[in-house]
Amino acid sequence: MSAPILVIDGLSAVSQRDGTPILRRVSLTLHRGETRGLVGESGAGKSTIGKAILHILPSAVRVTAGQILFEDRDLLTMPSAPLRRLIGERIALIPQDPMTALNPGRRIEAQLTDGLRLIRGASARTARARALSLLEEVHIREPERVLRAYPHELSGGMRQRVLIAAAFALEPALIIADEPTTALDVTVQKQILRLLRNMQNAHGTAVLFVTHDLGVVAQVCDSVTLLFGGKVIEEGPVAQVLEAPRHAYARALLDACPRSDHPELGLRPIPAELIARLRREVATP
Amino acid sequence: MTDDLLRADELKIVFDTPRGLFKRKGAGVQALRGVSVRVGRGETIGIVGESGSGKTTLGRALLRLADVSSGRIVFDGRDITGLGERDMRPLRRRMQLIFQDPMASLNPRHTIRRIVTEPMLFHRVAADPADAQRRARAIFERFSLPLACLARFPHELSGGQRQRVGIARAALLAPDFVLADEIVSGLDVSTQAQALNLLKELSRDLGLAMAFISHDLSVVRAVCDRVYVLRQGLVVEEGRCDAVFESPKHPYTRALLDAIPSPRIDPGWLQRDQGD
Amino acid sequence: MAAITLTGVGVAIFVLLRVVPGDPIAMMISPGASPADIAALRAHYGLDAGIGQQFVVWARDLLRGDFGVSISLHRSVLELLAERLPATLELAGAAFVVALLLGVSVSVVAVLASDSKVAPLIDTVNGLFLAVPDFIWALLLVLTFGVFAPVLPLSGRIDPSLDTHFTTPFYLLESLLTLRVALFSDICKHMIMPTLALALPLAAVLTRVLKESLREAMVQDYVLLARLKGKSRLRLVLQEALRNAIAPALALTGVQFTFLIGGTVIVERIFSYPGIGNLAIDAVINRDLPLIQGLTLAFGALFILVNIAVDLLVVAANPRLRHG
Amino acid sequence: MVEGALTQRTDVSATRRRWDWIGVCVADPKVAVGGGFILCLCLVALAAPLIAPHDPLEQDIMLGLTPPPGFAGAEPGHWLGTDDLGRDVLSRVLYGSRVALTVAFAASALAAVIGSTLGLAAGWRRGWVDAAISRLVEIWMAFPPVLLSILLVAVVGPGVGSVIAAIAIIDWTRFCRVVRAETMNQASADYVTAARAVGFAPGRILMREIFPNVAPVLIALISLEMGIAVIVEAILSFVGLSVSSDTPTWGGMIAEGRQALHEGWWILAAPLTLLLLTVLAFNLLGEGLRRALDPVMRR
């Protein structure tokens, strides 16, 4: 395997307000072209990791220890100006809600070409040409018309395509996808997942895929990190974690999922004792 | 069938689009374009569809909380399509509703006690306040809700607790029919499983008929006997859950089913296309 | 819509002046007038006819552009309006511009400084400003610049000793366009205090609303994405957030601007500024019925025009409405 | 036995919680400061004859225009100086609070009753009721409020009663607009659908489900309206239309002070300061109450 593109080592974060830990010595490694699922229920800390990488943590959260090595540079200790440039150019974000991720007051063209013009210093004409080819790449019909459109004129699926196009605009090495399909209908979700995977294969991009849906993980991720209470509970290749989970919590979570293919298997509530035991386990260092 | 508890024939609903300052009156949006459903006694049906399919509108219409443009709704052998608010009142106890957003569906200024006991007193399900409280406490224990919750306000509860209070409020009226509108879509899988199991138990114990509205087919399959697949205001497929899920007939149903990612690894799934 | 409201205003003012207890003629006459005088006066103003007929006559004259003749000033009401309205328009317009500039810049600063200690300070000061109405501002300014730091003229629109030869009643605009600097600065000096008195409360309201909607916009995902592309905070506020935040603020400013127009009445009074507000108080005190009707109608029309203008602005600022 | 004990305990806590909001309100610093000031002012107004050092109408031409202590020519015993007729400014200001507060309480109560009744009706019934009321509000608001109040008082004749009536007739629209919007907002919430699904009658839903959620906004608005009423009364007295000139009012004193600005600034400064403080206090109280009465924001 190639050299890792992202190495997170012992990352810890606390809430400034009451000092409760949000991440507890999280470590993970991501290689070029790999998709790693970051799963857990609400409060597990999965999106905090993505935010820490992008340096967009809310002011109430503070990183207390650890390293985030991206292409061998520690993002946590880099000076601010080169850091901003590095993140802008090499790391992209696909956010959860396509409804709020596009500025309602600006045309698609302006939003799609922002990065090209600001970071690459591209001219309006080259940026526009690049935007057109990006829209074609994400299979948008009538890309000319879409460039002139405002976000409210596009459907949710179309907007998410535009956001994927924007994420790939600068050929980043890493994309952080924060629940990118949670707000979409299932049929649209599948199209978007496929599009993302195909784009990623074509460009060799690594993806950190934050989600709560184990089904999505099974179908699109290569490897997975399962979190509970800010701590890594289990991690490894998807096949191993989902088919032969080692930790009882991973098994229980799988059993709780409703299964349309095997209705007799799913929907078993996670035993309260297990949750209580996990809480204690996570809290002890 | 004669033992249907609730049936709706050829429901059509047209919403008027509001008139704006610079807009002429719109033609109206057809939310339902002729939908027929029936719910047998003690039966749980699923109503599935993607956004814009009209599933929530259908649910509200079944309970006479939205006005229908044409069609007929029959509850327990009685045509309730044109019934006034006053005549509906005695029937209201028998047809209850559980909401998607438990926070919005509980009055923020009332205590949980008031929220769950007032309907019982109103419909004389409970003889007096003490009786109502006794019943509320019994169901709270059954739902593993702390009794202290009764004296609290909705915002002081957790999301899962609020959802269970919503279920308790409906169940305490001992209804014949309950409409559950996307009640687990905001919950984590573990809480979701807990709420769904509670509902399944209830319907079995009380002989409740239920209509379960969801966008999530796996949830519907887990709790429903029969299912209606809605698309753009029309039923495209209906039938027993096993039949519909094992061998869907309509291409849209196939596409929907195929689009559900299963937690079991299926290497070809992502690139495979079905339906449409 | 506007026509209906304006008609409503006309009917309301007409009915108010005639149906409420108190004879309109009794408001005009001096004590000791003979019954014959009263009857003559009544006939002169057409008040001897039935109320319906009176209304028809009044409305017909209005549509012809005949607003009647002022009783106390013995001049055509229309003429008086043409002379005084521009003064009020200049004052209200200046106040609006000042309020807009103040409101937008304070909001932008507040959002830029939202993590620092300056933000709560701005919030507190703005909270205080929100509570203080134009009447109190005007008097506080009078007290400050009239007594403690007497550098500004306390009343009027222009220094009477200056060469004042104007071809239009828009003194401020005309002196600016004809580049008469001394005159322009004198007019500005006269306008500073009344303008501030009117602008400060409006600026405070605007700041509160704009600041909130800016803060709301700043946490949206689209701002986050733009931030990741390396935009500075100032550019995030101006390019990404402001255009979406301005629409609700504008909509509210419309209502508030009509309050501002209402505020000119008392502010003009305090500064003896020769606008329609000051004129209106005199008209009421002198019980000048035709003048009151004309002025009220002018205020009503102004209110409606402002509302229409704001509706158009809100639509222009929001692409979602623009494309219907 | 166990069950009885349980009932009792939860009931006790419920009663306690029902009155909790008073404690929460008083604990809010804005309510404490604003409400405290208003309370003091009320006491001063009631006790004016007892605490005022002089008769507010007593003239003494020999002692005209004396400044407050600390300035050249000050006269002992006149803590805020005297006006051009030699009347004690402090005593006049104290007596002036009586008119101000009477108008504030009566006018805002009246405006609140009219406005919120119409606002509830418009927001709940919608349809033609809403269309008619909304249009009425729009027409009403086309009149500059100050001009309209002057007009009303001029037509009806001066006096505290007509000032109160004029303010209520003008300012009900404030209540109507806010209550209508808030009622509509609440009526679209799921808990109202839940109440409809239970079968509660529309009147009961409006009064017992919706109104408690509208009430905090209404209470805050009443407090703000009191501040506005004080100002409007001052404006009317300033123009000379409020009460007869031998009753001291803040507005009347301000008018006198504006005339004698260069001879005695304190004649303007004293009532203006008190007016400003009163308005700020009502605003502070309103804002604090809005926050304290919100069950989701408190805690």
Range of weakest confidence among A85-99, A120-134, C55-69: C55-69
Range of weakest confidence among A39-43, C250-254, D231-235: C250-254
pLDDT for A200: 94
E-strand stretches of chain D? none
Given an 8 Å threshold on Cβ–Cβ distance, is B110 in contact with D212? yes
Among the listed residues B210, B219, B168, B214, the one whose alpha carbon sits nearest the alpha carbon of residue B192 = B219
Q: Are residues C216 and C134 in the same domain?
A: yes
| Nearest chain C residue to D284, by CA | C131
Question: pLDDT at residue B206 above 60?
Answer: yes
Return the CATH number of the domain spanning residue range D22-298. Answer: 1.10.3720.10
Partners of residue B109 in chain D, C-beta under 8 Å: 212-213, 295
The CATH number assigned to the domain holding B182 equals 3.40.50.300
CB D221 within 8 A of CB D239: no
Q: Are residues C100 and C35 in the same domain?
A: no
* Total number of domains in chain B: 2
Q: Give the pLDDT band (50/70/90) at residue A99.
A: confident
* Total number of domains in chain A: 1
Given an 8 Å threshold on Cβ–Cβ distance, is C243 in contact with A105? yes
Find which of B199, B220, B260 to mutate to test the A interface (most A CBs within 10 Å of its CB). B260
Task: Give the distance from residue C242's alpha carbon to the nearest chain A alpha carbon, in angstroms.
Answer: 9
Using one digit for the tens of pLDDT, what is the confidence trace for D243-266? 766 788 999 899 888 888 888 888
The CATH number assigned to the domain holding C280 equals 1.10.3720.10
**Which of C1, C311, C324 is closest, CB to CB, to B23?**
C324
Q: How many CB atoms lie within 10 A of CB B169?
A: 27
* Total number of domains in chain C: 2
**Partner A contacted by C221 (CB < 8 A):** yes
Question: pLDDT at residue B11 above 90?
Answer: yes
Among the listed residues B7, B66, B57, B50, the one whose alpha carbon sits nearest the alpha carbon of residue B33 = B57
Q: Give the DSSP per-residue string, C169-225.
A: S-HHHHHHHTT-HHHHHHHHHHHHHHHHHHHHHHHHHHHHHHHHHHHHHHTSHHHHH
Question: pLDDT at residue B269 above 50?
Answer: yes
* B99 within a domain of the structure (yes/no): no
**Partner B contacted by A263 (CB < 8 A):** yes
pLDDT for C47: 67
User: Within 13 Å of residue C301, how many CA atoms lie on the same side as its CB?
Assistant: 9
CB A282 within 8 A of CB A229: yes
CB A137 within 8 A of CB A198: no
Using one digit for the tens of pLDDT, what is the confidence trace for B38-85? 999 999 999 999 888 999 999 999 999 988 999 999 999 999 998 888
pLDDT for C168: 82
Of A198 and D88, more confident: A198
Given an 8 Å threshold on Cβ–Cβ distance, is D194 in contact with B99? yes
The answer for A 130-159 residues in CB contact with B (under 8 A) is 156
Among the listed residues C16, A233, A257, the one whose alpha carbon sits nearest the alpha carbon of residue D155 = C16
> For the residues D171-188, what does the mean pLDDT come to?
93
Question: pLDDT at residue A233 above 60?
Answer: yes
* C74 within a domain of the structure (yes/no): no
> For the residues D47-59, what does the mean pLDDT come to?
84
DSSP type of residue D207: I
The CATH number assigned to the domain holding A278 equals 3.40.50.300
Partners of residue B23 in chain C, C-beta under 8 Å: 324
pLDDT for A135: 95
* C76 within a domain of the structure (yes/no): no
Among the listed residues D296, D217, D270, D289, the one whose alpha carbon sits nearest the alpha carbon of residue D33 = D289
Question: pLDDT at residue D126 above 90?
Answer: no
The answer for A 13-42 residues in CB contact with C (under 8 A) is none
List the subunits that have 3+ CB pairs under 8 angstroms with A.
Answer: B, C
Residue B96 phi/psi, 5-degree rounding, is -115, 170
> For the residues D166-195, what does the mean pLDDT come to?
92
Question: pLDDT at residue B1 above 60?
Answer: no
Sheet order of strands, B29-40 included? B29-40, B4-15, B70-75, B78-79
Domain residue spans in chain D? Answer: 22-298
> For the residues C2-19, what does the mean pLDDT come to?
75
CB C111 within 8 A of CB C218: yes
Q: Are residues B50 and B62 in the same domain?
A: yes
**Which of A186, A213, A267 is closest, CB to CB, to B193?**
A267
The residue out of B174, B205, B232 marking a domain boundary is B174
CB A212 within 8 A of CB A178: no
Find which of D147, D226, D282 to mutate to test the C interface (most C CBs within 10 Å of its CB). D147
pLDDT for A2: 67
Using one digit for the tens of pLDDT, what is the confidence trace for B142-200? 988 999 999 999 988 988 889 999 999 999 999 999 999 988 887 888 888 888 888 88
Question: pLDDT at residue C43 above 90?
Answer: no
Using one digit for the tens of pLDDT, what is the confidence trace for A140-159? 999 999 999 999 999 988 99
Among the listed residues C204, C203, C161, C187, the one whose alpha carbon sits nearest the alpha carbon of residue C90 = C187
Task: Give the distance from residue B223's alpha carbon to the nearest chain A alpha carbon, in angstroms.
Answer: 9
Q: Are residues B187 and B259 in the same domain?
A: yes
Partners of residue A220 in chain B, C-beta under 8 Å: 261, 270
β-strand partners of A31: A4
* C297 within a domain of the structure (yes/no): yes
Q: Are residues B211 and B76 in the same domain?
A: yes
Question: pLDDT at residue C22 above 60?
Answer: no
Q: What does the block give as tokens for B135? A: 């019943």
Given an 8 Å threshold on Cβ–Cβ distance, is B50 in contact with A242? no
CB A107 within 8 A of CB A148: yes
**Partner A contacted by C227 (CB < 8 A):** yes
Pairing of strands A61-70, A4-15: antiparallel
The residue out of B125, B149, B174 marking a domain boundary is B174
Interior/surface letters C3-19, b for 16+ CB within 10 angstroms, e for the rest: eebbebbbebbbebbbe
Which residue carries 């004080």 as its tokens? D230
**Which of C222, C229, C323 is closest, CB to CB, to A102?**
C222
Question: pLDDT at residue C25 above 70?
Answer: no
Q: Give the pLDDT band (50/70/90) at residue B21.
A: very low
* B100 within a domain of the structure (yes/no): no
Q: Are residues C197 and C59 in the same domain?
A: no
* C29 within a domain of the structure (yes/no): yes
Q: Are residues B203 and B76 in the same domain?
A: yes
Q: Are residues C160 and C268 in the same domain?
A: yes
**Which of B92, B101, B107 is closest, CB to CB, to D197?**
B92
Would you say the ipTM is above 0.85?
no
Q: Are residues C290 and C164 in the same domain?
A: yes
pLDDT for C303: 83
The highest-confidence range among C104-108, C261-265, C301-305, by mean pLDDT, is: C104-108
Q: Are residues C19 and C147 in the same domain?
A: no
Q: Are residues C88 and C57 in the same domain?
A: no
| Nearest chain D residue to B136, by CA | D7
Partners of residue C222 in chain A, C-beta under 8 Å: 100-104, 111
Q: Are residues C48 and C175 in the same domain?
A: no
Q: Give the DSSP per-residue string, D87-102.
A: -BHHHHHHHHHHHHHH
Given an 8 Å threshold on Cβ–Cβ distance, is A93 in contact with C224? yes
* B35 within a domain of the structure (yes/no): yes
Using one digit for the tens of pLDDT, what is the confidence trace for C189-223? 999 999 999 999 999 999 999 999 999 899 899 99
Q: Are residues B40 and B170 in the same domain?
A: no
* C88 within a domain of the structure (yes/no): yes
Q: Are residues B61 and B183 in the same domain?
A: yes
CB D233 within 8 A of CB D242: yes
Given an 8 Å threshold on Cβ–Cβ distance, is C225 in contact with A87? no
**Which of D14, D191, D296 is closest, CB to CB, to B105?**
D191
The amino acid occupying position D194 is: A
**Partner C contacted by A145 (CB < 8 A):** no
CB C139 within 8 A of CB D267: no
Torsion over CA: A52, A55, A57, A63 (sign):
positive
Question: pLDDT at residue C160 above 70?
Answer: yes
Q: What does the block give as tokens for B95? A: 């047809």
Task: Give the distance from residue D140's alpha carbon to the nearest chain C alpha carbon, in angstroms.
Answer: 8
Distance (Å, whole) CA D227 – CA D287: 12
Q: Are residues B84 and B217 in the same domain?
A: yes
Q: Are residues B164 and B45 in the same domain?
A: no
**Which of D235, D269, D276 is closest, CB to CB, to C266?**
D235
Q: What is the mean pLDDT of chain C?
A: 84
Pairing of strands B29-40, A21-31: unpaired
Given an 8 Å threshold on Cβ–Cβ distance, is C221 in contact with A114? no
**Partner C contacted by A232 (CB < 8 A):** no
* B125 within a domain of the structure (yes/no): yes
**Which of C27, C131, C284 is closest, CB to CB, to D280?**
C131
Range of the domain at C237: 84-323
The residue out of B116, B148, B174 marking a domain boundary is B174
Q: Are residues C265 and C200 in the same domain?
A: yes
Distance (Å, whole) CA C166 – CA B150: 77
Q: What is the mean pLDDT of chain A?
A: 91
Q: How many CB atoms lie within 10 A of CB D67?
A: 19
Range of the domain at B144: 105-174
| Percent of residues, chain C, with pLDDT higher than 90 | 32
Q: Are residues B76 and B213 in the same domain?
A: yes
Question: pLDDT at residue B23 above 70?
Answer: no
Q: Are residues C234 and C283 in the same domain?
A: yes
Torsion from C-alpha of A144, A145, A151, A156, nearest 10 degrees: -90
**Partner B contacted by A264 (CB < 8 A):** no
